[in-house]
Amino acid sequence: MKIFLDTADVTSILERFETGLIDGVTTNPSLIRKSGRDPEDVYRELAMAGIPDISMEVVEDMIGEGQRLSGEFPHVSTIKVPCTPEGLKACKVLSDNGVRVNVTLIFNAAQAILSAKAGATYVSPFIGRLDDNSVAGLEVIRSISEVFRVQNVKTQILAASIRDVYKVSRAFWNGAHVVTMPPKIFDGMYKHILTDKGLEIFDADYQATVSRVNKSAYQPPSSIRARVGSDLDSF
């Protein structure tokens, strides 16, 4: 059950990587554009910070670029290709050469099947974009998960295009191995109004206890003294 961050904002990734709960990062050309940075500077900084798995999308000359990036960023790079005939050709060549590949823009089980046959490490179904088009994204996760289970396929399902916290747990429940999410969704996973309320009460009670208790004045009651006897000093 892995959590990836879906952003190219290095500062925001590193802040959350410190929690020890982040297993990787996914980027795409739109996220890179939004960052306003050179993609390779982003990948380099993430690699230097110890992010173990970084999806880097290739657009032109996918095989050549994939080989180059995996050489430049060994161990941490996952080459991201679209689910097209060209993309899956690149997936086959790269995965045959030991490169991790994430096939992106997956919208049904048929595309996931082809990607798995091409040796993909990950397939990325886009839940939010399916929902936007009146198709239940979580159902697509479920159907890919069932096919992979029945056929004993090792390719992992990486649920993408996540728009709310609820979808994270439901994606895992429906069989996703990885969920990639924007940082604000990751932050939202901690939150529950009853946690805040409960914490407020515990904090107030803790402070009241701290101000009441005087440790140096402590004397055990006679019933405890009688039980412990001469061993009293060892406590």
CA distance 225 to 97: 73
Nearer to ligand E4P, 63 or 127 (CB): 127
Distance of CA 63 to the CA centre of its chain: 26
Per rule CB under 6 A, count of chain residues that contact ligand E4P: 11
Based on the shown chain and the rule CB under 6 A, indicate whether residue 160 belongs to the binding site for ligand E4P.
Answer: yes
Do residues 232 and 220 touch, judged by C-beta distance below 8 A? Answer: yes
Among 43, 73, 126, 172, binds ligand E4P (CB under 6 A): 126
Task: Give the HSE-up count for residue 108: Cα atoms under 13 Å, Cβ half-sphere.
Answer: 3
Specify the residue, 184 or 225, whose C-beta has the smaller distance to ligand E4P: 184
Q: Is 77 in the site for ligand E4P (CB under 6 A)?
A: no
186 makes contact with ligand E4P (CB under 6 A): no
To ligand E4P, the closest distance from the beta carbon of 179 in angstroms equals: 10
Bridge partner residues of 55 (DSSP): 26, 78
Please identify which residue in 78, 180, 185, 186 interacts with ligand E4P, judged by CB under 6 A.
180
Query: If you search the block for the tokens 């009853």, which residue do you land on?
Result: 194
Interface with ligand E4P (CB under 6 A), residue from 129, 147, 183, 188: 129
- For residue 80, the tally of other CB atoms under 10 A from its CB is 29
Residue 117 annotated as catalytic: no
Per annotation, catalytic residue among 2, 34, 80, 215: 80
The pattern of x and - marking residues 15 through 54 that bind ligand E4P according to CB under 6 A reads -----------x-x--------------------------
Stretch that binds ligand E4P, among 126-134, 137-145, 147-155, 190-198 (CB under 6 A): 126-134
What are residue 178's DSSP bridge partners?
Answer: 2, 158
The DSSP element (H or E) to which 106 belongs, if any, is strand 101-106
Please name the residues in contact with 93: beta carbons below 8 A apart, sequence gap of 6 or more.
63
28 or 77: CB nearest ligand E4P:
28
- Tokens 């009146």 map to which residue? 134
95 binds ligand E4P (CB under 6 A): no
Q: How far apart are CA 163 and CA 22, in angstroms?
A: 18
SS3 state of residue 159 = strand
Task: Please give the residue ranges that form the binding site for ligand E4P (CB under 6 A).
Answer: 6, 26, 28, 104, 124, 126, 128-129, 160-161, 180
Q: Which residues are catalytic?
A: 80
